Amino acid sequence: MTTLRNLPSVESLLQTRIAAELIAAYGRPLTLDAFRAELDEIRARFKSDPELDLPTMDDILALAEFRLSAWTAPSLVPVINATGVILHTNLGRAPLSDATIRAMDAISRGYSTLEYDLVKGARGSRLIHAESILQKLTGAEAAVVVNNNASAVMLVLAALANRRRVVISRTQLVEIGGGFRVPDVMKQSGAKLVEIGATNRVNLDDYETALAEPIALVMRAHRSNFKIIGFTEEPEPGDVVAIAHRAGVPVVDDLGSGALLDTARFDIAHEPTVQESLAAGMDLVCFSGDKLLGGPQAGIILGRADLIAKIKKHPLARAVRADKTCLAGLTATLMHYLKDEAEREIPIWRMMSLTLKQVRGRAEAWRLELGRGSVVEAESTVGGGSLPGESFHTCVLALDVKSPDKFLKRLRMQHPPIIARTEDDRVLIDPRTVLPEQEGALLVGLKNALR
């Protein structure tokens, strides 16, 4: 009769050649944990079912190895984005340019001048690195980079409007996603909201009336992910600025996406640019680093030097500061704009600038390689809180499969996982967002999943 006494001990498992290999790969403490967990589980199972055959030594070692690989497998892994959504928030927004990755790599490998002035041989400031290039690019007097745009908005309000009143139109009290609601962030910062206008309409009189009272700031928030259509009204940004300035009140523009290039060049609608916002007289503009800028996660605040100086001094600035890899990467990404090579070097602009013919060519090549599917025209979106309601004309490889949902799941189980979408019961593979270097892996994954 089998009894638990026949179960190998941790000590005997450790004597094996496989154990030595596991220790080399995973370290001794974790390997021991895995052996103990495996043996505990077998004992528990045996107690509830004494008829059970005890696993052999080899079985236990194999199960322990499986456990170790599961314990150490990262959950954050690269995927192939075949959805056609260029700034897919769930898939990490903007992929970075080669120069950006090199800069982040170089700075993270060793020591750097993060807060060190080489000329003086003394302490410097981390805030200067991206600032001078942002000034050059936009003409803004000053700039500060923080962790992301949500913290940029929070910091601006905390530094300039704590316990004071901030005017914002009800047409702009938006939720960006992931629970980021402009009104909630404004309240968190300690500012007092003065809501004006109606959900669909606001006019200059509304601003004028609100500005008759003492006001710290007028805030504007870009409706990043939806449109208001129909009976609507909203004054031009420049006119809002003029009224606010007459009352001596600065205006802050939360642009969200913060394009430096005009999206209208690529047959999609125009997304407000940073330059336009500054030209309209905005005192401060804030936007994300990883949306239409195409860089690493960051929040950028640009504008009047006196306001930026106050922001830099606020205690929250330290809490939301950008790290050295972010600053290195952001600077490298911004350099592409300065050198007028953004369209060629920054992946998201490359994707946007692909012509229908180029996208069709890739989809055709994949169809030939797979011997399956058809190439059809479709629409994809930019995503990531930009250009709501606007889509790209694109070409996709459409696959007819028995169960689209099951097929999507099979695609997600590939290495690397492939993320696609369905439309009219077909699975669509959009070449626009598949990086050229991922093409081989995509085809292997598709073939696997189709088998």
Q: Give the interface segment with ligand PLP, choosing from 160-168, 236-244, 254-262, 311-319 (CB under 6 A).
A: 254-262
Q: Are 199 and 170 spatial neighbours (Cβ–Cβ below 8 Å)? A: yes
Maximum Cα interatomic distance, the chain, rounded to a whole number of Å:
94
- Is 273 among the residues that bind ligand PLP (CB under 6 A)? no
The nearer residue to ligand PLP, 222 or 350, going by C-beta atoms, is 222
Which residues in the 177-216 window bind ligand PLP by CB under 6 A? 180
Q: Is 404 in the site for ligand PLP (CB under 6 A)?
A: no
**Site for ligand PLP, residues 348 to 387, rule: CB under 6 A:** 385
Q: Distance between CA atoms of 349 and 340, rounded to whole angstroms? A: 12
Q: How far is the CB of 282 from ligand PLP (least distance, A)?
A: 14
**Residue 431 binds ligand PLP (CB under 6 A):** no
Q: Does the N-terminal peptide bond of residue 347 adopt cis geometry, omega within 30 degrees of 0?
A: no
Provide the minimum distance between the beta carbon of 65 and ligand PLP in the complex, in angstroms, as a whole number: 40
Distance CA 178, CA 214 (A): 33
Q: Does the footprint of ligand PLP cover residue 256 (CB under 6 A)?
A: yes
The residue from 68, 150, 166, 334 that contacts ligand PLP (CB under 6 A) is 150
d(CA 92, CA 296): 10
Partners of 300 in beta bridges: 145, 287
Q: Which residues lie closer than 8 Å to 430 by C-beta, 6 or more apart?
A: 82, 83, 84, 359, 378, 380, 394, 396, 420, 421
Among positions 133, 173, 176, 322, the unique one binding ligand PLP when judged by CB under 6 A: 176
How many Cβ atoms are within 10 Å of 74's Cβ, its own excluded?
Answer: 5
Report the run of H or E that residue 65 belongs to, with start and end.
helix 57-72
Q: Is 222 in the site for ligand PLP (CB under 6 A)?
A: yes
Which of 17-25, 53-61, 253-261, 354-362 is the region at the interface with ligand PLP (rule: CB under 6 A)?
Answer: 253-261
Contacts with ligand PLP by CB under 6 A: the residue count is 15
Q: Does residue 254 belong to the site contacting ligand PLP (CB under 6 A)? A: yes
Q: Do you know the residue count of the chain? A: 451
Stretch that binds ligand PLP, among 101-109, 110-118, 250-258, 311-319 (CB under 6 A): 250-258
Least separation in angstroms between CB 287 and ligand PLP: 8
Indicate whether 149 belongs to the interface with ligand PLP (CB under 6 A): yes
Minimal distance, residue 257 CB to ligand PLP, in Å: 6
Least gap, CB of 181 to ligand PLP (angstroms):
10
Its sign, for the CA torsion 237, 242, 244, 248, is positive
Q: Give the shortest CB-200-to-ligand PLP separation in angstroms.
A: 18
- What DSSP character marks residue 51? T
Cα dihedral 309, 192, 154, 312, rounded to 10, equals 10
Closest separation between CB of residue 417 and ligand PLP, Å? 23
Cα distance between the two ends of the chain? 46
Contact 300, 143 (CB under 8 A): yes
221 binds ligand PLP per the rule CB under 6 A:
yes
The reply on whether position 237 binds ligand PLP by CB under 6 A is no
| Closer residue to ligand PLP (CB): 65 or 276 | 276
The reply to whether 173 sits near ligand PLP by the rule CB under 6 A is: no
Q: In the stretch 105-144, what mask flags binding to ligand PLP with x, by CB under 6 A?
A: ----------------------------------------
Does 288 interact with ligand PLP (rule: CB under 6 A)? Answer: yes
Which of 19, 145 has the CB closer to ligand PLP? 145
H or E element in which residue 302 lies: strand 299-303
* Residue 285, token pair as written in the block: 């503009």
Report d(CA 286, CA 301) in Å as an integer. 4
148, 171, 333, 380: residue in contact with ligand PLP (rule CB under 6 A) = 148
Going by C-beta distance under 8 Å and a sequence separation of 6 or more, which residues neighbour residue 93?
A: 87, 290, 291, 297, 384
Contact 173, 167 (CB under 8 A): no
Closest CB 185 distance from ligand PLP, rounded Å:
8
Q: Closest approach of Cβ 150 to ligand PLP, in Å?
A: 3
Please give the residues from 314 up to 353 whose contact with ligand PLP meets the rule CB under 6 A.
none
Give the residue with the Cβ less far from ligand PLP, 61 or 292: 292
Whether the CB-CB separation of 301 and 96 falls below 8 Å is answered with no
For 436, other C-beta atoms within 10 Å of its C-beta total 10
Residue 169 found at the interface with ligand PLP (CB under 6 A): no
CB of 223: closest distance to ligand PLP in angstroms?
A: 8
What CA–CA distance (Å, rounded) separates 159 from 161? 6
Number of helical (H) and strand (E) elements in the chain, helices listed first: 19, 17
Which is nearest to 206 in space by CA: 236, 175, 240, 237? Answer: 240
Q: Which residues bind ligand PLP (CB under 6 A)?
A: 148-150, 153, 176, 180, 221-222, 224, 254, 256-257, 288, 299, 385
